[in-house]
Amino acid sequence: MNLRQMELVLKVASEKSFTKAANALKVPQPSLSQSILNLEKEIGMPLFNRETNPVSLTNAGEIYLSKAKLVFDVLEDLNTELNELGGAKRGKIRIGFSQNGYNMIPEALPKFCKRFSGANIKVMQIFSTLKIRKMIIDDELDIGMLIMPIDANGLKCEVIKTQDMFVALPALHPLSLKYKNQDTKISLKELKDEKFILPKESQRSRAEIDLAFKKAGFAPKIFCETETFDIANSIVASGYGACFTIPQFIKEDKADKVRLFDIGEPTLAKTLILAYKEDKKLSKLAQEFIKIAKES
């Protein structure tokens, strides 16, 4: 019985599949299966029910899994404490972020990496907020940059920034010209005849936007549904339609081609959090990253 075998069991239990576990660990699936078979022979009983779909743990597997997690938790605490003898500059951290999360504080990661250039820092862009959450729970990430709302069960969260959402219109739109030198707060009702570029219905922000339209008393004319703010902002910058966005999501070369209007809808505000596993000790390096993010 060794640590590598424990790692394999943990990953198969997490993925509920030998094939997915092998892919995640970048090892041949036959090799992974054989290692676990050897372990089961050594123990004298199976750890997995292979006849079920997905694969499930036996009673012995449940016991093994709980103890293996304890072993890795102790090893992680040991490594953290040893690294911290040399201070945060020698630590290790794995950070996951979504595009929107990064765009809300774009200066934080470069500043952190420069300040702690001697540390072992691994940064990953992950396109699904749910995937980031799962990786934190599965100990594949130390910290995740997430935009609320998110299921916070099993997580500790630090609020970093809350940003109001605006409606973007082309710079030459009649409303943009009308309010050019005036307060840019308008009612969503004034846009009932506009053609909107909205997030797809599968995206979390769409439900919040639909509710804002409902409160305004009209159904929007939807010209396009997108998966990213970049596309919506680009369409508006080209001179057509309206979209919901925040200032940090607008690229520099598009900034003078759009005009942002406050529609006074606080429920659309975006809140950025840094999340980490609830029962995990936060390293000094992770604490420094949170500090820099809050200062950004």
Residues 248 and 128 in one domain: no
Residues 174 and 241 in one domain: yes
Cβ proximity of 111 and 139 under 8 Å: no
Cβ proximity of 11 and 77 under 8 Å: no
Phi then psi dihedrals of residue 146, to 5 deg: -130, 155
Residues 29 and 149 in one domain: no
CATH classification of the domain holding 48: 1.10.10.10
| Amino acid 76: pLDDT | 75
242-245 and 166-170 strand pairing: antiparallel
Structural domain span for residue 137:
90-162+271-295
Average pLDDT rounded to a whole number, residues 173-201: 88
What count of residues does the chain have?
Answer: 296
| Amino acid 1: pLDDT | 76
Residues 177 and 257 in one domain: yes
As for how many domains the chain has, the answer is 3
Residues 122 and 185 in one domain: no
What b/e string do you get for 163-192 counting C-beta neighbours within 10 Å, with b at 16 or more? bebbbbbbbebebbeebeeeebebebeebe
Residues 184 and 149 in one domain: no
Residues 176 and 253 in one domain: yes
Residues 170 and 151 in one domain: no
Residue 174: pLDDT over 80: yes
Cβ proximity of 73 and 100 under 8 Å: no
Residues 130 and 276 in one domain: yes
CATH classification of the domain holding 248: 3.40.190.10
- SS3 of 144, please? strand
How far out from the chain centre does Cα 169 lie? 28
Average pLDDT rounded to a whole number, residues 77-106: 77
- Both tokens of 56, joined, read 């499930």
Q: Does residue 172 fall inside a structural domain?
A: yes
Residue 82: pLDDT over 70: no
pTM above 0.75, yes or no: no
Residues 194 and 107 in one domain: no
CA–CA gap between residue 167 and residue 49 (Å, rounded): 53
Q: Does residue 84 fall inside a structural domain?
A: no
Q: Does residue 76 fall inside a structural domain?
A: no
Of the listed ranges 77-91, 104-118, 246-260, the least confidently predicted one is: 77-91
Residues 38 and 107 in one domain: no
Residues 233 and 185 in one domain: yes
Q: Does residue 77 fall inside a structural domain?
A: no
Q: Does residue 243 fall inside a structural domain?
A: yes
Pick from 205, 207, 209, 195: nearest CA to 263 = 209
Residue 87: pLDDT over 60: no
Cβ proximity of 165 and 244 under 8 Å: yes
